């Protein structure tokens, strides 16, 4: 502090320098930035999409086969607990260096919130509503499509939101297994002790997470029925 | 009994909860099933529309064995009203009422006409209430919608499980009176479950008393009042 108050010109220029040089850096590397941003989005979108395609039916299945709930959610929990870098490491022998390892790991992380929220959302539907539906002669598919999924949509979307935001964060680590993304700048910056480079990756990654959260929040308000 | 039995239940069993129940209900008749909690009333209803599968005996709807029908098809021919109503909260009143016709792929103008007719029947102005959601209705209005919904596809049989049980006493009497007026006009075979003897005597053309899964009494309200059966006496004394 005393250093800053004393007005060390070196320190001040370095603080300003961080901002200026970041914009400077982007100006000079805009193509690379767009490429990494694109890779990052690709990793997140594909893995969240796959996790949704697997997680939604699995969550629905758990509401139909309550006995499977414990084992399946337990397993998903175990995967969620493995540190991300360790999971990437564990997957390398299977999928090698590259995007597939990263996507697989991201899918694994995104599954738990989606499966759990799908299950919780549907299980939370008023039993009287379900009984009335069945009693009126709705098939299981009709009940799911017309009643359970619409009523559970808010909870399911919240799960997708969590999964997406977590994926944006974990996808930065994908760079460590050669899958690209904004983590490339961060790892490169850490390796060369270059703050600008670290920020060049970290700032857009953080903004991306906020944007994804905001957009999905908006979708939730637009799509979900509420009283 | 003059009317042919629209609904016939023969020696119906479900574990030890329903132990051999038999009755018939004709068009325009209302059989009230009375009994204490846990006597098997609700279970009996659920065995009729196969929300539960009987472990013995059989149910015949218009002469056809229920067990031989697809449960979905069977249930669309049997209206079902429950105490909690179970309206779909994300559907408007009109969509709730028109649900079964929609599942049956009626033309949309026919559904709309049917919905208006039914809402008017249960005393709700279709123009006022059709576009509302269930949370915008009172308990009594919700149960009116529940009845309208159960009648939508004009099923020959109607099962009612304590439909007025959750309503305040004034609304309850109001709905009982209106229901009584409807009964004759509708010409349905109804099974009405309640533990309220007063309600049973008012609405039933016949009363059945269930005790530990067995039908210990079956007869007209007049016969019920005069019965010397100890189980029946206990219920009558509860009213007096």
Which member of B72, B77, B85 has the closest CB to residue A139? Answer: B72
- Chain A: nearest CA to B135, how far in angstroms? 7
Distance CA B203, CA B197 (A): 10
High-pLDDT (> 90) share of chain A, %: 75
Query: Mean pLDDT in runs of 10 for chain B (240 residues)?
Result: 77 95 95 94 96 96 93 95 94 96 96 97 96 96 96 96 94 94 92 95 96 95 95 86
pLDDT at B4: 58
Inspect the interface and report whether the beta carbons of A131 and B90 lie closer than 8 Å.
no
pLDDT reported for residue A215: 95
| Residue A8 confidence (pLDDT) | 44
Q: Is the pLDDT of residue A3 over 90?
A: no
SS (H, E, C) chain B: CCCCEEEEEEEEEECCCEEEEEEEEECCCEEEEEECCCCCHHHHHHHHCCCCCCCEEEEEECCEEHHHCCHHHHHHCEEEEECCCCCCCCCCHHHHHCHHHHHCCCCHHHHHHHHHHHHHHCCCCHHHHCCCCHHHCCHHHHHHHHHHHHHCCCCCEEEEECCCCCCCHHHHHHHHHHHHHHHHHHCCEEEEECCCHHHHHHHCCEEEEEECCEEEEEECHHHHHHCCCHHHHHHHHHHC
**pLDDT one-digit tens code per residue, A131-147:** 999 999 999 999 999 99
Say yes or no: ipTM exceeds 0.85.
Answer: yes
When pLDDT is averaged across residues A57-64 and rounded to a whole number, the result is 96
For position A20, what pLDDT does the model report? 66
Predicted confidence (pLDDT) at residue A51 exceeds the cutoff of 60: yes
Q: Average pLDDT for residues A151-160, to the nearest whole number?
A: 95
β-pair partners for B80:
B159
pLDDT digits (tens, 9 = 90+) for A163-180: 999 999 999 999 999 999
- pLDDT one-digit tens code per residue, A205-224: 999 999 999 999 999 888 88
Check if A93 contacts B (Cβ < 8 Å).
no
For position A9, what pLDDT does the model report?
45
Given a contact cutoff of 8 angstroms between Cβ atoms, the answer to whether A191 and A183 are in contact is: no
**Does position A11 have pLDDT exceeding 70, yes or no?**
no
Enter the DSSP assignment of A96.
Answer: -
* Buried-state track A83-93, b at ≥16 Cβ within 10 A, e below 16: ebeebbeebbe
Closest CB from A128, A138, A146 relative to B82: A128
Residue of A nearest to B132 (CA): A227
Residue A146 DSSP symbol: I
Residues of chain A contacting B75 with CB distance shorter than 8 Å: 134-137
Residue A138: closest C-alpha in chain B: B72
- Phi, then psi, of B137 in degrees rounded to 5: -110, 160
Interface residue A142 vs chain B (CB under 8 A): yes
**Which residues on A lie below 8 Å from B149 (Cβ)?**
136
> How many angstroms separate the CA atoms of A182 and A162, rounded?
20
Can you tell me the distance from the alpha carbon of A201 to that of B184, in angstroms, rounded to the nearest whole number? 76
């Amino acid at each position: 502090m005393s250093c800053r108050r004393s007005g060390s010109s070196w320190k001040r220029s370095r603080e300003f320098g961080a901002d200026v040089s970041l914009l400077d850096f982007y100006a000079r590397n805009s193509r690379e930035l767009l490429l990494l941003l694109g890779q990052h989005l690709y990793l997140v979108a594909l893995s969240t999409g796959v996790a949704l395609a697997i997680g939604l039916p699995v969550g629905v299945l758990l509401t139909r086969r309550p006995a499977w709930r414990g084992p399946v959610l337990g397993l998903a929990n175990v995967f969620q607990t493995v540190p991300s870098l360790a999971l990437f490491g564990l997957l390398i022998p299977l999928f090698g260096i590259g995007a597939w390892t990263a996507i697989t790991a991201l899918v694994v992380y995104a599954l738990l919130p989606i499966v759990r929220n799908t299950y919780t959302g549907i299980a939370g539907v008023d039993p009287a509503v379900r009984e009335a539906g069945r009693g009126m002669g709705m098939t299981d598919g009709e009940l799911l499509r017309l009643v359970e999924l619409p009523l559970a949509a808010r909870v399911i979307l919240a799960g997708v939101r969590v999964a997406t935001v977590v994926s944006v964060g974990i996808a930065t680590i994908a760079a460590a297994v050669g899958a690209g993304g904004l983590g490339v700048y961060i790892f490169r910056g850490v390796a060369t002790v270059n703050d600008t480079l670290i920020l060049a990756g970290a700032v857009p990654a953080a903004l991306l997470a906020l944007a994804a959260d905001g957009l999905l929040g908006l979708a939730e308000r637009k799509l979900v029925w509420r009283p | 009994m003059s009317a042919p039995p629209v609904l016939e239940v023969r020696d119906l069993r479900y574990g030890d909860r329903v132990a051999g129940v038999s009755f018939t209900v004709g068009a325009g008749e209302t059989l009230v099933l009375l009994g204490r909690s846990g006597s098997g009333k609700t279970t009996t209803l659920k065995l009729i529309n196969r929300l539960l599968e009987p472990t013995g005996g059989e149910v015949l709807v218009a002469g056809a064995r229920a067990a031989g029908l697809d449960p979905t098809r069977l249930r669309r021919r049997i209206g079902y009203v429950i105490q909690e109503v179970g309206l779909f909260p994300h559907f408007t009143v009109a969509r709730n009422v028109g649900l079964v016709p929609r599942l049956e792929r009626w033309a949309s103008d026919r559904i709309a006409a049917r919905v208006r007719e039914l809402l008017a029947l249960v005393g709700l102005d279709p123009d006022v209430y059709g576009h509302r959601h269930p949370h915008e209705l009172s308990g009594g209005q919700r149960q009116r919608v529940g009845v309208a919904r159960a009648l939508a596809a004009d099923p020959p049989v109607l099962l009612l499980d304590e439909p007025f049980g959750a309503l305040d006493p004034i609304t309850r009497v109001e709905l009982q009176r209106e229901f009584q007026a409807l009964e004759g006009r509708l010409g349905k075979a109804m099974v009405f479950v309640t533990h309220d003897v007063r309600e049973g005597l008012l609405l039933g053309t016949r009363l059945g008393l269930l005790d530990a899964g067995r039908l210990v009494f079956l007869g007209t309200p007049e016969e019920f009042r005069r019965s010397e059966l100890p189980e029946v006496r206990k219920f009558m004394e509860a009213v007096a």
